[in-house]
Amino acid sequence: MEESKAQERVEQWIRRSSKGEIGHEAEVEATKDLRLLKIHKGFVLCDFLIHYGVSDESGKRHEGAMATLLDIIGSLTAFSFTAHEQTTVSLSVSCYSKPNLQEVVEIEGKAMAEQGRMTSVRVEVRTKHDRQIVALGIMWMAHAPPKNAAPQINKSISPKL
């Protein structure tokens, strides 16, 4: 798949998910009001409005929702870089502050490295008004097998029956 097609698919996914047209409930809620600002190979930049669906009882951004959003943006960033569906194999999330309800944050995903079928991605979330870091996600993504592929079993590590 060529680079522009991968970017087009990322744009379409963000647009449709942020409107609740596609995705699982957690994805839809985590990406509601997500707006794509810029995309190119290995780079995704979005704005996001903190809304009630992703806030905790104190009206601040919920950490679980933040981890979901970081994972989604990381996967989309890796896809824009490799043009392959991605599966998260390692995710490290650091939350530094909690933005307020109705506050706009900026989310930036960057592909950092590629090793074989693995891609390293860094996702930063910052407040829009003063650029203070809210959260940081570092992840390794792997090319996902095709949806109709049979699972591969490594017989050398299978237990003896």
Give tens-digit pLDDT for 45-96. 999 998 887 777 777 667 888 899 999 999 999 999 999 998 999 999 999 9
Order of strands across the sheet that contains 86-95: 34-40, 43-49, 104-115, 118-127, 133-143, 86-95
**Tally of CB atoms within 10 A around 129:** 11
**Two structure tokens written together for 154:** 């490594």
- Phi then psi for residue 78, to 5 deg, are -65, -40
Where in the chain are the domains?
Answer: 3-157
Q: Quick: pLDDT tens for 135-150.
A: 999 999 999 877 765 5
pTM of the model: 0.84
CATH architecture assignment, domain 3-157: Roll (3.10)
Selected residue with higher pLDDT from 94 and 20: 94
